[in-house]
Amino acid sequence: MDPIDTSLRTVDKHLEANPDDASAWNAKGVFHAQKRDFGEALRSFDRALQLDPNLASAHTNRGRVLLALGPEKANDALRSFDSALKLTPNDVQIMHDKASALHALGRIDEELECFRQISELAQNEWGVWVRIGDIELELGHFEPAIKSYDTALGLKDDLAPTYVRRAIAFGMLERWKEAITSAETATKLEPDNAEAWLIRGDVNLKAGKHKSAMKALKKASELDPEDASVENTMGMVAYRDGKLQDAIKHLRRAIIRKKKYPTAIRNLGLVLMELEDWAEAAKAFESYTSYVKNDPDMFDAKATAYARMDDFCPAVEAWERARKLYKKAGNDVEAERVTALGRAARINCNRQTKAAKEQRDQEKSQRRFSDRHDLRKKKERRKR
């Protein structure tokens, strides 16, 4: 028999004789949760709390089950964890549970504060400092993130992913030498870590070390041939080296590997513009703006590509979209610039529309004349 079923039978037998034992109901809930019978688990925890509202473990276990049911239950889970912490304020494990609920709710600032409280109680827990660094990195607090990663690495110095994220933080501050060193350490610790090689390539690219960047990216591609971001970054290395055709090959490969990849699509469009391949550039920007609808620069680029093909009507639409986005961002100078371009394009669009209509009318008239001519011929043949 399953050991959990055996345990459930034992606790049920105990509860028959002791129906008001809150701890037993809590234990029963834990066994049901282990069997993933969450409904019965919650009913057991609720019964335990009816009998003893101050049973912190029942509040905690209830919260864990709610969190296991999905993010839509995270608010209820958070309330359970808060109830448990009122009873046992310095319980580090419950604080971890609370942080998980806050993460599920996307309340990142509160999650950060929760982990800071944990770090005061468990200063030597390296995982806490890593998570603090990750949150600070996500929030754009790069200096604090580096300090948190340094603390984690001081406690455990073989954390390759932490060196990777610290390299990213250094890169965001344009501290390239430290970024490269951190990324190199990650690849030495985990030579088969494709992400580490990708970041090593990325920071070398941004530091202007294109040869080192491409070498690292080739290694990343060997380790993970399906990673579209590697091909995208290789495309940007080739672009910086002036190898535009190579850049296009890499960027197209990135898009094959990941069809909905706006960054690679945007980069492809920009490289195609440099080659003055306006038709392909316009296609790229059409694709990009179908995914990213709030980038005024790319609507401006799309309009430019259409205008260079003398296709002014879609250019008008794109420049108008760019104008609204620039205006919304408070960039009045750019808004005025694209307004002027849009106005000139509108004049040409109207001319093209008028010319196209005249052409259609002329073709329609010719068809009518041809139809009448054919009809006369048919009548003449009938008379014969």
pLDDT of residue 360: 72
In a domain, 39, yes or no: no
Among 231, 174, 223, 226, residue whose Cα is nearest residue 203: 174
Structural domain count of the chain: 1
Q: In the chain, where does DSSP find H-type helix?
A: 3-17, 22-34, 38-51, 56-68, 74-87, 92-104, 108-121, 126-138, 142-155, 160-172, 176-189, 194-206, 210-223, 228-240, 244-257, 262-274, 278-291, 296-308, 312-328, 332-383
In a domain, 339, yes or no: no
For residue 189, count other CB atoms closer than 10 A to its CB. 17
In a domain, 371, yes or no: no
In a domain, 134, yes or no: no
CB 104 within 8 A of CB 71: yes
> Which residue in the block uniquely carries the two structure tokens 């690219």?
205
In a domain, 296, yes or no: no
pLDDT tens over the chain, length 384 residues? 688 999 999 999 999 999 999 999 999 999 999 999 999 999 999 999 999 999 999 999 999 999 999 999 999 999 999 999 999 999 999 999 999 999 999 999 999 999 999 999 998 999 999 999 999 999 999 999 999 999 999 999 999 999 999 999 999 999 999 999 999 999 999 999 999 999 999 999 999 999 999 999 999 999 999 999 999 999 999 999 999 999 999 999 999 999 999 999 999 999 999 999 999 999 999 999 999 999 999 999 999 999 999 999 999 999 999 999 999 999 999 999 999 999 999 999 999 888 777 677 676 666 554 555 555 556 566 655
In a domain, 145, yes or no: yes
In a domain, 205, yes or no: yes
In a domain, 24, yes or no: no
Among 117, 119, 58, residue whose Cα is nearest residue 83: 58
Cα(310)–Cα(294) distance, integer angstroms: 25
Among 66, 60, 46, 58, residue whose Cα is nearest residue 93: 60
CATH number for the domain including 178?
Answer: 1.25.40.10
- Structural domain that includes position 164: 140-225
